[in-house]
Amino acid sequence: MGNMGRVPVGIVGASGYGGVQLVRLLKEHPGVEVVYLGGESSAGKPFSDLYPHLSPFVDLKIEAIDLEEIATRCQVVFLSLPNGLAYKMAPTLLAKGCKVLDLSADYRFFDVSTYTSWYGGDREDQEIVSKTVYGLPELYRDRIAQAELIGCPGCYPTASLLALAPLLKQGLILPETAIIDAKSGTSGGGRQAKVNMLLAEADSSIGAYGVARHRHTPEIEQICSDLAGSEVTIQFTPHLIPMVRGILATVYATMRDPGLQHKDLITIYNAFYRNAPWVKVLPSGTYPQTKWACGTNLCYIGLEVDSRTGRVIVLSAIDNLMKGQAGQAVQCLNIMMGWEETLGLPQLTFYP
């Protein structure tokens, strides 16, 4: 253990946006001590060289990735890496007794064939995959508490699934009619240099991408199918908008009972999320904005019923780097360790 009995944790891939969010959150978390920061291209550099604003608070260096060394020093390991790397590391860390939280797509799927058909790769770890838990606490809290390996959800799936879950679980909609129109800030694309993320390219514009083929589609469909109890196909279209943080997902679906009223849905959602401290169902006529969730682990949900079309409209807003990534991973850690789900996580944004 680390100082004062704190759990020693490591972050592999600490230099990216997900990694720096984890560093910032875990440095202030009362239950852990960050003892290892790993990376390849930045190995040997002080972490403060990459993020100078953290120099008074983080005195660790980025170290080369050595799984034996990591397992010796860490009880919990966060893998904040590009897709296709975590599944090469997690089996070794698990075998050596570490708890692992993967922030990439590598362990989000129940079957490796779904992963390889969308992401590629040559995998032979179905046995490990079968023991992995999908890290959306509002749906799988009890399983997360017993897990050794968590596949942390993507940011778009988190916002979309929290909007859809009560409708699918209660059988309130025709699943095949569900459409997700989602918009994300540029930090969702990571820290690597990309032409479409340049200020001159992204500013004062909005555009769709990955239309009909975005990699988060099968992840959303997998959990929707699990909730509905039958195979569900979803129409999902993501958009890039000129802001740094945040996701707003607007979900449309046809209701089975066209007589269902707005007040009924509010009651259903409040009951469904009654034990979910990070989900806030908004009152009638109030619709979420991404700014409200910025820097927090919160998901704000607004609801409307269009009696003219017989559709329900659900709006879900999160911070893509927090509830959509690092914050949710820490939420899962809290559950795995038997701590309060809110421990060490920001609950209120700075506004405006």
Catalytic residues: 155
Dist CA 20 CA 194 (whole Å): 19
Q: Which amino acid is at 76?
A: V
**Beta carbons within 8 Å of 254's beta carbon, 6+ residues apart:** 173, 174, 177, 309, 310, 311
Strand partners, 32: 7
* Residue 339 backbone class (left: φ over 0; alpha: ψ -120 to 50; beta: rest): beta
Residues 108/129, Cβ–Cβ less than 8 Å: no
CA angle, 211 as apex, 207 and 217 as ends, to 5°?
Answer: 120
Paired sense of beta strands 207-208 and 235-240, if any: antiparallel
List the one residue out of 116, 208, 201 whose CA is nearest residue 156: 208
Residues 178/221, Cβ–Cβ less than 8 Å: no
Q: What is the DSSP string of 116-156?
A: HHHH------HHHHTT-EE--HHHHHHHHHH-SEEEPPPHH
Paired sense of beta strands 311-318 and 279-281, if any: unpaired
**Beta carbons within 8 Å of 303's beta carbon, 6+ residues apart:** 262, 265, 266, 269, 281, 282, 284, 312, 313, 314, 315
Paired sense of beta strands 311-318 and 299-306, if any: antiparallel
